[in-house]
């Protein structure tokens, strides 16, 4: 066996083939159904996530528990290739409002250490249904009209951003 063949196929080509197949199946399952790599684009999640940064979405995070307030989640649009990345600030059944940039959940001010700049957003109180979460990006220095935020149905949540 020549050196090149040995480097490419290993000492035992059959074993190498098995290893390659195992690796391919593990990668296919992991990055198709368990951990989805996503690249953040845009400024709505700054300063937590910079535009262009790479992250992973866990699709199994909510298999055994419901999303918590403060979780950063991935939300599908027509499919899984373009996603919104937002933070949950209100849970199903809660009431939420923005008054001069401050978030109020069920009438109580919500502490948001992840927000740096705040514009004076005003959003009338919204009552969430049993299937709805309220999501928003961390960049509140933007004008509210330039920022996508609001109620999202639980069926659109595909997972939690891990890092």
Partner 1 sequence: MNRRHATRGLLALALVAVAYVVWRGREGDDERAVGARIEALRNDINTSTSDGLGAVAHATQIGSYFTENMVIELGEGTSPIHGRDTLIGIAARLQTRTAAFRLELDDVSVEMVPGGRAADVLLTASFVRRVASTGEESRDAREFSLVCEKDAGTWRIARVTAIDTLR
- The residues assigned a catalytic role are 44, 86
Query: What distance in Å separates the CA atoms of residue 138 and residue 125, rounded to the nearest whole number?
Result: 19
Token pair in block for residue 67: 């999303």
Which one among 61, 85, 135, 157 touches partner 1, defined by CB under 8 A? 135
Interaction residues for partner 1, span 42-81 (CB under 8 A)? 42-43, 51-52, 75, 77-81
Residue 95 interacting with partner 1 (CB under 8 A)? no
Token pair in block for residue 79: 């499919």
Smallest separation, CB 127 to partner 1 (Å): 13
Shorter beta-carbon distance to partner 1: residue 50 or 120 = 50
Residue 31 interacting with partner 1 (CB under 8 A)? no
Cα-only R_g, the chain: 21
Which one among 97, 105, 151, 158 touches partner 1, defined by CB under 8 A? 151
Interaction residues for partner 1, span 110-129 (CB under 8 A)? none
Query: What distance in Å separates the CA atoms of residue 42 and residue 150, rounded to the nearest whole number?
Result: 18
Q: Which residues pair with 161 in a beta bridge?
A: 57
**CB neighbours of 36 closer than 8 A, spacing ≥ 6?**
56, 57, 59, 74, 80, 158, 159
Contact positions toward partner 1, by CB under 8 A?
14-15, 17-18, 21-22, 24-25, 28, 41-43, 51-52, 75, 77-82, 84, 86, 135, 148-152, 156
């Amino acid at each position: 066996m020549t050196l090149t063949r040995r480097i490419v196929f290993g000492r035992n080509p059959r074993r190498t083939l098995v290893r390659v197949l195992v690796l391919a199946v593990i990668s296919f399952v992991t990055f198709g159904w368990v951990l989805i790599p996503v690249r953040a684009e845009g400024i709505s999640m700054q300063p937590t996530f910079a535009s262009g940064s790479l992250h992973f979405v866990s699709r199994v995070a909510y298999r055994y528990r419901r999303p918590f307030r403060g979780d950063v989640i991935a939300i599908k649009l027509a499919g899984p290739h373009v996603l919104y990345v937002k933070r949950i600030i209100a849970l199903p059944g809660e009431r939420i409002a923005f008054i001069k940039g401050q978030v109020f959940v069920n009438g109580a001010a919500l502490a948001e250490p992840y927000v740096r700049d705040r514009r004076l957003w005003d959003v009338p109180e919204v009552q969430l249904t049993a299937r709805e979460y309220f999501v928003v990006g961390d960049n509140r220095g933007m004008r509210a009209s330039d920022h996508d935020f609001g109620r999202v149905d639980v069926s659109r949540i595909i997972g939690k951003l891990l890092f």
